[in-house]
């Protein structure tokens, strides 16, 4: 208080004449008041939807007033940002941040009779639904599946009758619509008992198509799915998008294997040789990287064309063929050649076996049976390959 | 999906004909067209295509379907071998 008094004592109020002189850097009236004093021109005034502490997703077009409260209306066209984020999700970047807030959204301008589509709060699932609904009106109820896609969330139990119930109640969906029907993705059925949802909320579950792209046809047919809509597919395109995550998941253990490879590659006749470690180490490392390609990329892509039904066998074939080709190409002696074939077949086989988890048709019992048979062979091949590789330093 | 067949004779899916009331709810949720209702009872017409997802069992009002709900995922199974079935998460 004392300081302010002192300030005013030392600085008397400015004279009325002084107040009339314009601030030298302010925009002049003759410029239309448009020229900024510094930096780029200012953007538009903050939108009416902005609230302190919140960030409005760019996919929200506006907030509409509905009987269930202010509801974000989302765009049905994906933006460049959406595509960029989707690519990040596919590459496994920031895996836990591809979420949208659970709750009620609108597509177009739905009324009390409009259908209610339910999906997971994984951004890619949400995007798939809204982008398939261009030019249509519907309610979109997003369930808190912890940012996991429909199928995995149903398997883990986070896409469940309880979670659906929670969102139906929390959003007051009963006020927004006059009917009592929810359309759930069929692939959520392993986690959702439809009758439990009805008992808890009064809403009847109808099973929508597996692929969001079939939604318009499903709705046009009066909520009826063709047999094809009820069957999963596993096309080449659907396999391609899985590869980056498959590969990124094995990079860490593979780095250790390669490091070990460099270390043992130096063992030979005259004791330990750094030059040999470097030279043979590179041959080894390249072989292991090729084995990843064989097991985590070539095998998944060529899946239906490869012999055998067991994934480990398919992967072993690809790994062995690529290993033999590579061994002939580097021609480091027959012992090292056999080592490469064995090691690459084993690694490729293991990675191919791991790919079972990403497919929509392998049963747990089947995979377990396959593993009980394959793992002993894979272990033997790795041991044999390692011994042969070290022995290859002596021949 | 005809191009993709997995090991045969392993799926743990069983339909208890005694309990089944023939409502057909299980057919609707199956992503592999495994089940059909014949003469008022559900039967597995393509048993080997079953991936044990558990959708049918979860939605059978009569509790007529039993299976070992598994995840067909090697990494998951290794974890169950090491730590037992509890406390393991899939993909
Ligand atoms: S467990 Fe899944 S794949 Fe097997 S019959 Fe039931 S719904 Fe079909
Ligand atoms: S859902 Fe259950 S009761 Fe209904 S047909 Fe299938 S097995 Fe039978």
Question: What pLDDT shows up at residue B83?
Answer: 73
Q: Is the pLDDT of residue A49 over 80?
A: no
Q: Average pLDDT of A178-186?
A: 97
For residue A74, what pLDDT band results from cuts at 50, 70 and 90?
very high
How close B42 comes to chain A (CA, Å)? Answer: 17
Q: Residues B56-78: what's their mean pLDDT?
A: 86
| ipTM of the complex in this document | 0.89
| Candidate of B52, B64, B69, B70 to mutate for ligand 1, largest count of ligand atoms within 8 Å of Cβ | B52
Q: Do B72 and A187 touch (CB under 8 A)?
A: no
Any residues with CB less than 8 A from the CB of A143 and at least 6 apart, and which?
Answer: A102, A118, A119, A120, A121, A159, A163, A164, A166, A167
pLDDT-based confidence at A274, cuts 50/70/90?
A: confident
Task: List, in order, residues 6 or more apart from A25 with CB less than 8 Å away.
Answer: A37, A38
CATH 3.30.70.270 applies to domain A59-230: no
CA of A180 to the centre of ligand 2 (A): 24
- Residue A232, chain B, CB below 8 Å: the answer is yes
Q: Which of B64, B66, B67 to mutate to test the pocket of ligand 2 (most atoms within 8 A of CB)?
A: B64
Count of CB atoms situated within 10 Å of the CB of A186: 27
Whether chain B has a CB inside 8 Å of the CB on A142: the answer is no
State how far the Cα of A324 lies from the Cα of A358, in Å rounded to an integer. Answer: 28
What pTM was estimated for this model as a whole? 0.83
Question: What is B14-82's CATH number, 3.30.450.40, 3.30.70.20, 3.20.20.70, 3.90.1520.10?
Answer: 3.30.70.20
Mutate to test the interface with B, among A95, A145, A155 (most CBs of B within 10 A): A155
Q: What is the mean pLDDT of residues A117-133?
A: 96
Question: If you search the block for the tokens 């090691």, which residue do you land on?
Answer: A343
Do the Cβ atoms of A361 and B49 come closer than 8 Å? yes
Q: Domains of chain A: which residue ranges? A: 59-230, 237-392
Confidence of residue B71 (pLDDT cuts 50, 70, 90): confident
Is the confidence at residue B86, as pLDDT, over 70? no
- Position A395 scores a pLDDT of 76
pLDDT of residue A19: 61
Could A304 and B3 be called an inter-chain contact, meaning their C-beta atoms sit closer than 8 Å? yes
**pLDDT of amino acid A36:** 52
The lowest-confidence range among A60-64, A123-127, A157-161, A271-275 is A271-275
**Ligand 1 centroid to residue B80 C-alpha, Å:** 22
CA within 13 Å, CB half, A116: 27
CA of A4 to the centre of ligand 1 (A): 78
Residue A186 in contact with partner chain B when CB distance is under 8 A:
yes
Ligand 2 atom nearest to B63, measured from its CA: 2
Structure token digits, residue A369: 């049976």
The CA distance from A267 to the nearest CA of chain B, in Å, is 34
Query: 3-state secondary structure string, chain A?
Result: CHHHHHHHHHCCCCCHHHHHCCCCCCCCHHHCCCCCCCCCCCCCCCCCCCCCCCCCCCCEEEEEEECCEEEEEECCCCCHHHHHHHHHHHCCCCHHHCECCCEEEEECCCCCCCCEEEEECEHHHHHHHHHHCCCCCEEEEEECCCCCCHHHHHHHCCCCHHHHHHHHHHCCHHHHCCCCEEEEEHHHCCCCCHHHHHHHHCCEEEEECCCHHHHHHHHHCCCCCCHHHHCCCCCHHHHHCCHHHHHHHHHHHHHHHHHHHHHHHCEECCEECHHHHHHHHHHHHHHHHHHHHHHHHHHHHHHHHCCCCCHHHHHHHHHHHHHHHHHHHHCCCHHHHHHHHHHHHHHHHHHHHHHHHHCCCCCHHHHHHHHHHHHHHHHHHHHHHHHHHHHCCCC
Task: For residue A132, report the distance from its CA to the centre of ligand 1, in Å.
Answer: 27
pLDDT of residue A23: 61
Q: Which of A91-95, A110-114, A264-268, A298-302 has the lowest mean pLDDT?
A: A91-95
Q: Band of the pLDDT at B8, cuts 50, 70, 90?
A: confident
């Amino acid at each position: 208080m004392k300081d302010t008094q002192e300030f005013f004592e030392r600085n008397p109020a400015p004279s009325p004449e002084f107040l009339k002189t314009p601030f030298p850097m302010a925009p002049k009236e003759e410029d239309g008041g448009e020229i900024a004093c510094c930096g780029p021109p200012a953007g538009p005034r903050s939108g009416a939807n902005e609230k302190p502490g919140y960030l409005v997703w760019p996919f929200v077009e506006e907030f509409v007033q509905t009987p269930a409260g202010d509801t974000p209306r989302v765009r049905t066209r994906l933006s460049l940002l959406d595509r960029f984020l989707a690519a990040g999700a596919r590459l496994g970047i920031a895996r836990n941040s591809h979420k949208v807030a659970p709750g009620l959204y609108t597509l177009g301008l739905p009324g009390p009779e409009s259908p209610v589509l339910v999906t997971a709060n994984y951004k890619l699932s949400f995007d798939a639904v809204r982008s398939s609904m261009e030019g249509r009106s519907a309610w979109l109820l997003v369930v808190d599946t912890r940012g996991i896609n429909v199928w995995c969330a149903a398997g883990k139990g986070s896409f469940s009758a309880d979670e659906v119930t929670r969102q139906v109640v929390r959003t007051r969906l009963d006020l927004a619509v006059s009917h009592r029907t929810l359309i759930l993705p069929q692939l959520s059925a392993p986690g959702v008992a439809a009758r439990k949802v009805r008992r808890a909320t009064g809403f009847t579950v109808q099973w929508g198509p597996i692929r969001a792209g079939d939604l318009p046809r499903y709705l046009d047919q009066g909520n009826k799915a063709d047999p094809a809509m009820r069957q999963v597919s596993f096309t080449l395109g659907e396999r391609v998008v899985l590869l980056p995550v498959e590969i990124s998941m094995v990079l860490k253990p593979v780095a250790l294997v390669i490091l070990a490879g460099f270390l043992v590659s130096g063992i030979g006749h005259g004791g330990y040789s750094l030059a040999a470690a470097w030279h043979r180490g590179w041959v080894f490392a390249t072989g292991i990287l090729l084995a990843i390609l064989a097991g985590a990329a070539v095998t998944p892509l060529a899946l239906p064309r490869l012999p055998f039904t067991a994934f480990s066998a398919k992967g072993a074939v690809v790994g062995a063929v690529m290993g033999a080709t590579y061994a002939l190409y580097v021609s480091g002696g027959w012992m090292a050649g056999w080592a490469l074939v064995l090691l690459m077949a084993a690694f490729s086989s293991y990675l191919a076996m791991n790919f079972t988890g990403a497919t929509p048709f392998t049963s747990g019992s089947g995979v377990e049976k396959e593993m009980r048979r394959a793992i002993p062979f894979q272990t033997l091949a790795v041991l044999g390959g390692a011994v042969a590789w070290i022995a290859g330093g002596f021949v | 999906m005809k191009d993709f067949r997995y090991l045969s004779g392993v799926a743990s899916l069983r339909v208890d004909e005694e309990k089944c009331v023939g409502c057909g709810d299980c057919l609707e949720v199956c992503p592999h067209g495994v089940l059909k209702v014949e003469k008022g009872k559900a039967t597995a017409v393509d048993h080997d295509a079953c991936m044990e997802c558990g959708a049918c069992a979860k939605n059978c009002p009569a509790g007529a379907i039993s299976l070992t709900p598994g995840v067909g995922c090697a990494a998951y199974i290794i974890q169950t071998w090491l730590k037992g079935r509890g406390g393991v998460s899939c993909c």
